[in-house]
Structure 1
Amino acid sequence: MIYFFNRSTLILFAIFLCTIVFVNANSQLAFGQEERPPVEVGVYVVRQEPLILTTELPGRTSAFLIAEVRPQVSGIVQARLYTEGSEVKAGQVLYQIDPASYQAVYDSAKANLARAVANLNAAKPKAKRYKELLQSKAISNQDYDDVMSAYNQSEAEVGVAKAALESAKINLSYTKITAPISGRTGKSEVTAGALVTANQTNALVTIQKIDPIYVDITQASTAMLRLKRALASGKLVSVADNAQKAKVRLLYEDGTPYEHEGTLQFSDVTVDPASSAITLRAIFPNPNQDLLPGMYVRAILEEGTDEKAILAPQQGINRDNKGNSIALVVNKQGVVEARMLKILKNIGNRSVVSEGLNDGDQLIVEGFQKVRPGAKAIAVPASDAVYKAMQKK
């Protein structure tokens, strides 16, 4: 049997077939979604907590006190009276300059003083007698003035002689070159027999006090401004007050921590135009003298306390193709959400998150490969391994 269909009938039949296919496809898709159960994911519940923020900065050690020893009189060095590289005390004799010529000058000044005193002693009773004679009109005023002038001159000569003796005594004492400060000596630049001159350019030896010791730390001026703004806004609370200075810890160049803790002393008021950095100075105890002047170190400086810091395990943070930090969270409706994060810094296995996470958020740290944003998920507590990793620093 042959059926004949007109054009309108064929078009209606085609529409009917397409409708059946579309409905069938949607039914299969809906059936597949209903059959797919929510996935279990391990979550870490984010909580606000106080956190002392630190920054690691480069620094150089420098001596607490430095003294370059130079001679104050000229002469021949007779002996060096200390051991190079040893500790010396303030006032300890380091070098002996030949004192013969200075001793002679001292002896001469002493004799001159004795002569001036003798002359004064002779003039004093004469002046006294002439004063009495003047009162009785036995001598003229001119005679009295001459005697008093001689007496005053004798008095002045005694003063000059005393000053000359004191100067000679000082120069004689300078032939013993002493340590102006206590500290460790460097190498000696002269030996016995060398001629030295007063206030010469080259130092005989340099003494450095290195317990305690300074550490000069450089910090970018922009970082300092950012810290000040955070403190002014109340986001950070200063860790130091008038009674306690900010604490500083040190790392050697190889990363080994220095055993003693230091304190911040001051911040420079001038920005270096070449590097746009300022200098911070910290002081550290150095009883074993492990730190030597000029060493490169890393300083860990306490900046402030964030009373409401958000710390998240790095295990739950990923990056997109552009390098942005992304995390997945399970919201209150059990739906997975993607969050763009702003990471302030990393501390051990934790990241300090300044934007993107809130107190109480359920951060997916296990099973995030099995879910996508918008999907349903069942949040279960993360394994103990995640919490143990969070404790590592």
Structure 2
Amino acid sequence: MNNKLRLATAIAATLWLSGCDMSSHAAQNEQPSAAVPVNIIELASQSQAITMELPGRSRAYMEAEVRPQVNGIVLARSFVEGGIVEQGQSLYQIDDSTYKALLISSKAELKRAEAALASTSATAKRFRELLKTKAISQQDFDQAEAAYLEAQASVAVAKAAINSAEINLEYTKVQAPISGRIGKSTVTPGALVTANQPQALAKISQLDPINIDIAQSSTQMLRLKQRIASGQLNQPESTQVKLILEDGSVYQHDGVLQFAEVTVDESTGAVSLRAEFPNPDGILLPGMFVRTIVTVGTDPTAILVPQKAVTRNPRGEGVAMVVNAENKVESRIVETAEAINNQWLVTKGLQSGDKVVVEGLQKIRPGAMVAPTVLSETPAS
């Protein structure tokens, strides 16, 4: 009997202790959880220049191929390959002896035609007077008048031949069609050149200023036009362009966008833009690959958020954590546009005055209580 009493007493004590334990645990659960410390920034709209980084390639501002316009042997070359030449400067001298002889012959032919003109003119004048007295027939006068007109035509033909001979003689001095830097010569003195040959003698490129051809995708172009049309962007009067060279250095001179092509390249889906840059030191050469930073407009009410404050959900949407007035965390779906330094330009989902969590994201979830600390400066990503 005593054993049964002792067993019942032990069971009752165990149940009592277990009940106390559960009550203590429930009381702990009922206590509010501690607020999680996080760092936040308070968003404010600002005017922000919007830029795009696009690939480009340099092109000469002007190019001209030097070609012979008459046949002959090259007697001399009067320029230094790779040097600067001026428009009208003599580059090659073609043998001109044949063309001088042709000019002399043309001048002699003019003298003969002028002599014939004088003779036929006098005859026609006499026959006109004789015709009045019926001393000659109408046929004789008509023949004299025709000979006079034919002599006039011969003089005109002779003068045209002289003009052509003078032009061909001038063409024996091959001159620079434009000013610029000339490349290598494809011929040397003693070479035979012809007026219709496919090979150019040399090429001249004007490099100051110089053009940069830029490729922009048609998708980017459409988005940009939509933002300008909706008033999100203010388009500048002139679009400024900066260059980043192949070695990563920034080109010291800024350029200006000149025009955009009106068609889309079907093979690449890109639109060609052209910018003009000063090139006084000759650093930029035709064919160089560059990266361009094009200022496409200004967003007067831009919202910028540090990149590390925006994460991605499984659907790939941008997500930012915002602290509300009760210091509770809310999840916001955001849309971003350009990356500006270490920040995203947010186009939808956030507004001025929102408090965005930038540090402590791994410790919070939507609905959690936080103890926010406002950062005075935007942290680096």
Alignment partner, residue 371 of structure 2: 378
Once the two structures are TM-superposed, the CA of residue 22 in structure 1 deviates from its matched residue by 5.0
Any idea what SS the aligned residue of 1:345 has?
A: strand
User: How far 1:156 moved relative to its partner?
Assistant: 0.8
Within the candidate set 278, 291, 298, 1:298 is matched to 291
State the distance in 1 between where 2:259 and 2:294 align.
13
Pairs within 5 Å for 1:244-283 = 244-283=237-276
RMSD, aligned α-carbons: 2.7
Q: State the distance in 2 between where 1:372 and 1:226 align.
A: 34
The one-character-per-residue Cα deviations of 1:83-124 (angstroms, maximum 9, x if unpaired) are 111111111110000100110011000111011112212222
Aligned to 1:26: 26
Partner secondary structure for residue 245 of structure 1 = coil
Show the 5 A alignment for 1:119-268.
119-239=116-236, 244-268=237-261
Q: How many Å apart are 1:307 and its aligned residue?
A: 2.1
CA distance in 2, matches of 1:46, 1:383: 11
- The counterpart of 1:108, out of the listed 100, 105, 108, is 105
Any conservation in 1 of the 2:41–2:376 contact (CA below 8 Å)? no
Unaligned runs of 5+ in 1: 5-13
TM-score, reference length from structure 2: 0.89
Give the distance between the partners of 1:194 and 1:217, measured in 2 at CA.
41
Q: Determine the C-alpha separation between the residues in 1 that align with 2:143 and 2:347.
A: 95
More deviation, 325-334/364-373: 364-373
Q: Percent identity at matched positions?
A: 48
Which range moved further: 130-139 or 284-293?
130-139
Shift of 1:170: 1.0
Question: What's the CA shift string for 1:339-377, capped at 9, x where partnerless?
Answer: 333332321122212233211011223444554432333
1:26 maps to a residue whose letter is A
Secondary structure at the counterpart of residue 287 of structure 2: coil
Q: Secondary structure in 2 aligned to 1:339?
A: strand
Q: Distance in 1 between matches of 2:98 and 2:312?
A: 83
Q: Please name the residue that 2:319 is paired with.
A: 326
Match of 1:42 among 39, 43, 46: 39
Contact 1:53 1:303 in 2 (8 A): yes
Q: What residue identity is the alignment partner of 1:76?
A: I
Q: Distance in 2 between matches of 1:182 and 1:379?
A: 67
Query: Cα distance, 1:16 vs. partner?
Result: 9.8
Which stretch shifts more, 338-347 or 298-307? Answer: 338-347
The yes-or-no answer on 1:82 pairing with 2:75 is: no
Moved more, 85-94 or 38-47: 38-47
Contact 2:127 2:144 in 1 (8 A): yes
CA distance in 1, matches of 2:269, 2:367: 47
Q: Secondary structure at the match of 1:158?
A: helix
The amino acid of 1:164's aligned partner reads: A
The Cα of 1:320 is off from its aligned counterpart by 5.7
- The CA distance in 2 between the partners of 1:278 and 1:318, in whole Å, is 32
What is aligned with 1:94? Answer: 91
Give 1:270 shift. Answer: 2.5
> What residue ranges of structure 2 are gaps of 5+ in the alignment?
5-13
Counterpart secondary structure, 1:248: strand
Does the Cα contact within 8 Å between 1:366 and 1:382 map onto a contact in 2?
A: no
Q: Distance in 1 between matches of 2:152 and 2:215?
A: 63
Structure 1 partner of 2:334: 341
Query: Can you list the C-alpha shifts for 1:314-352, whole angstroms capped at 9, x where unaligned?
Result: 353445677654333221122222333333232112221
Change (3 A) 1:322 1:153: closer
Where 1:68 maps in the other structure, the secondary structure is strand
| 1:362 alignment partner, one of 355, 358, 364 | 355
Q: What letter corresponds to residue 79 of structure 1 in structure 2?
A: A
What amino acid is the match of 2:184? K
Q: Secondary structure at the match of 1:210?
A: strand
Report the more deviating stretch, 325-334 or 165-174: 325-334
Post-superposition CA distance 1:244-296 (Å, at most 9, x none): 33221111012211111112222222322222222111221212121110000
Structure 2 CA distance, aligned partners of 1:361 and 1:274?
45
**Structure 1 position 219, deviation (Å):** 1.5
